[in-house]
Structure 1
C-alpha cells in the first residue's frame, strides 16, 4: 500500500531536506500528508508551490515522538538523522535512531520505516566505524519485521553524492551545485585540478546527485510494496573514468596521486577524530571492494526518475 502520511526525521537540512523537497514536488499529484521532525523549532519548508510543517521532537524521548506520529496518523517514517560533523557525538546519533524506531514501531498506524542509510550499505563496510553504528538499527528492524510481518522497511543506498564534484566552481549560481549538502571536495578537487585516488583508480563508484536521491525516495513512498534494499544511481563509473570526465570538463589534465593502502591507512588519526577517520576509512573500503555494487539498481527500474549523470553534472557546473 502506498504511503499516505509521511514523517521525515531530520528533514530540515542536507539529504533530509532533499527528500522533503522531492516529496513536496509530487505531493499534489499523489495527495499525501507530510511532516518534518526536527530537534529545533523551524518554519515550514516550502518547495514547488506547497509546504510541510516542521514539528519539534525530542529524539531522546519516545513519548515525544509517539505523540506526534499518533496525532498525524503517520504510516511511513524516513530517518535522515546522522552524525555528520566533528561536534556530533556518535553515541547520541545511534540513540536518536533507536528512540525514533522504538517510537515508530509502537504506533499502530506506522507500517513503513527507512533508517538513515543514503550512502553505501552499512553492512558491506565493516571498516567504517561510523557506519557500523547503524547496524543495531538494521537488526532491530528485522526483529520487528519478524514480529509484525506486515511491517515494511527498506535500506536506501545511493553511493557518493555527486554534489561534491561541484566544489569550487565559479558559475554565478555555483552554490546551487551543492544543493543542501556540505561544501567540500572528495577525491576530486576540480577547483585545484587535482585528484587523490585510492589504489589504481579501477574501482567503481556509485554517484548520485542529492536532488535525485530526494526524487528517488519520494517516488518510492508511492510504491505498493517495499523491498528490503533499494539501490539507486546517477552513474556507476570507475574512479579513472570519473577523473577523465573531470579533466574533459575542465579542459586540462589533473595532478593525480594514486595512493597505496599503506599511504591511505597512515592518514588515520586518534579515535576522537571521528569525521576525519570516517573519510579515510571510506577510502580504504573503496580499495577493499566493500563499496562495490553487489545488487542491481532496482530503484532505478522501479520508479520513473531520470537521474543526472556525472557527465551532465560536470557540464552544468564546469563547462
Structure 2
C-alpha cells in the first residue's frame, strides 16, 4: 500500500483516475483541492487535502504531514494559472521529502518528441500552442528532482465521441466526427490512423501502475488504433445513419480552414471561432502527421498494455455502441 494524492482528482480526468485507484482498494487515497472536504466518487468517499497552489512550502507541508508517497497530477493545464499550479505542485512534492513518484498531467502525445520534430507550429488564430510548452516545462522541472516520474501518453481521448449521450471529462468538442449531429470533417485522406483511448481505460492503467516496481519515463497506453475512415464507419453504424462527410486538405488546415461541425458552435463563447479553428486545425494536422497514433512512437518500449495485460481496454466500436444504443 502507498499513500496517493490526485491533484484535480474530484473532476474531469482526475475523477476517473481517483475512482480507478479507489476501485482497486489497495492504496490510501487523497484528493488535492483548494479546500478540505470529502468527495463521493463512485461508491467511495474520498477525503481531500486542502492546498494553496501559490505556496510551494505549504504544499510541501501538506504532503509531508500526510506522508504522501505518490502524486498524480490531473490538473487541466490549459492556461498560465493552472500551469503555474502544477509547477508549484512539482516543487512542493520535491520539497516534501516523502514523495518518491510524480505523474504530471499529460494524457496526450509525446510532446517532447513532437517539439523536436517541429510540431506543433503556429497557425492563423493560434500563434502558439501553449499547452505543449506547459507540459514540456513540467517534464524539464521533474528531471531536476529526485522523484521518479512517468508520462502517461494515450494518443487522443475517445470520450469525445460519446457526447452528449455520455459525459466527457474535458471541454466537449466535436473533433473530426460530430457523432451527435451526423457530420464529419475528415483530415487528409481518411486513411491516417489515430489511437483513441477512453478515460476508463487510461485510469485503470494509471491505477495499476502504482503497483509497478519501477516507472518507465514514458508510459504508453494504447486504446484502439483506427483510421478516421474506419472510425467514421463505426460511428455511422452506431447511429444507424450516414454522415454528411467533408475532407479537409493539409493545405486548408495550414490556413486554419476546417469544416465547421455543429457541435462546436456552442463552444465559441469559450473559445472564439478563429481560436477554436486554429486548435482543431492543429490537432487535425497532428492526426495526418501521425502524432496521435501511439503505436508509431512506442519503438522498443513496452506499453502499459504489455505490462498490465489483464486490464480490459475499451474499443471504439464497443464504446460507440454503448453510448448511442438508446
Q: Which of 203, 211, 226 is equivalent to 2:192?
A: 203
Per the alignment, residue 307 of structure 2 pairs with 302
Q: 1:315 to 1:279 in 2, by over 3 A?
A: same
Partner Cα distance (2:32, 2:97) in 1? 19
Q: Is the 8 A contact 2:205 2:304 kept in 1?
A: yes
Per the alignment, residue 15 of structure 1 pairs with 13
Q: Is the 8 A contact 2:186 2:247 kept in 1?
A: yes
Structure 2 unaligned regions, length at least 5: 121-128, 258-267
Per the alignment, residue 131 of structure 2 pairs with 130
| Structure 1 residue 232, shift from structure 2 partner | 0.9
TM-score, normalised relative to structure 1 = 0.85
Q: Equivalences for 1:182-201 in 2 at 5 Å?
A: 182-201=171-190
Matched, 1:44 2:39: yes
What is the SS of the residue equivalent to 2:54?
coil
Q: 1:204 to 1:297 in 2, by over 3 A?
A: farther
Q: Equivalences for 1:142-291 in 2 at 5 Å?
A: 142-144=143-145, 148=146, 151-168=147-164, 174=165, 177-267=166-256, 277-291=278-292
Partner Cα distance (2:41, 2:323) in 1? 25
Per the alignment, residue 95 of structure 2 pairs with 106
Q: Is the 8 A contact 1:45 1:54 kept in 2?
A: no
Q: 1:189 to 1:275 in 2, by over 3 A?
A: closer
| Structure 1 residue 274, shift from structure 2 partner | 5.9
What is the SS of the residue equivalent to 2:6?
strand
Per the alignment, residue 316 of structure 1 pairs with 322
Partner Cα distance (1:246, 1:286) in 2? 18
Per the alignment, residue 60 of structure 1 pairs with 54
Partner Cα distance (1:275, 1:43) in 2? 36
Q: 1:272 to 1:153 in 2, by over 3 A?
A: farther
TM-score, normalised relative to structure 2 = 0.84
Partner Cα distance (1:254, 1:246) in 2? 9
Q: Which of 83, 96, 107 is equivalent to 1:118?
A: 107
Partner Cα distance (2:198, 2:291) in 1? 21
Per the alignment, residue 125 of structure 2 pairs with none
Q: Deviation digits for residues 232-265 of structure 1, max 9, x if unmatched?
A: 1220111111111112222232111110122223
| Structure 1 residue 271, shift from structure 2 partner | 11
Q: Is the 8 A contact 1:14 1:182 kept in 2?
A: no
Q: 1:282 to 1:11 in 2, by over 3 A?
A: same
Per the alignment, residue 66 of structure 2 pairs with 72
Partner Cα distance (2:40, 2:275) in 1? 31
* Residues paired across the two proteins, number: 296
What is the SS of the residue equivalent to 1:96?
helix
| Structure 1 residue 40, shift from structure 2 partner | 4.3
What is the SS of the residue equivalent to 1:143?
coil
| Structure 1 residue 275, shift from structure 2 partner | 5.7
Q: Is the 8 A contact 2:13 2:74 kept in 1?
A: yes
Structure 1 unaligned regions, length at least 5: 85-89, 169-173
Per the alignment, residue 140 of structure 1 pairs with 141
Partner Cα distance (2:160, 2:272) in 1? 25
Partner Cα distance (2:279, 2:37) in 1? 30
Q: 1:196 to 1:271 in 2, by over 3 A?
A: closer
Q: Is the 8 A contact 1:119 1:157 kept in 2?
A: yes
| Structure 1 residue 16, shift from structure 2 partner | 0.6
Q: 1:79 to 1:273 in 2, by over 3 A?
A: farther
Q: Deviation digits for residues 267-295 of structure 1, max 9, x if unmatched?
A: 37999976653333222222233333200
What is the SS of the residue equivalent to 1:230?
strand
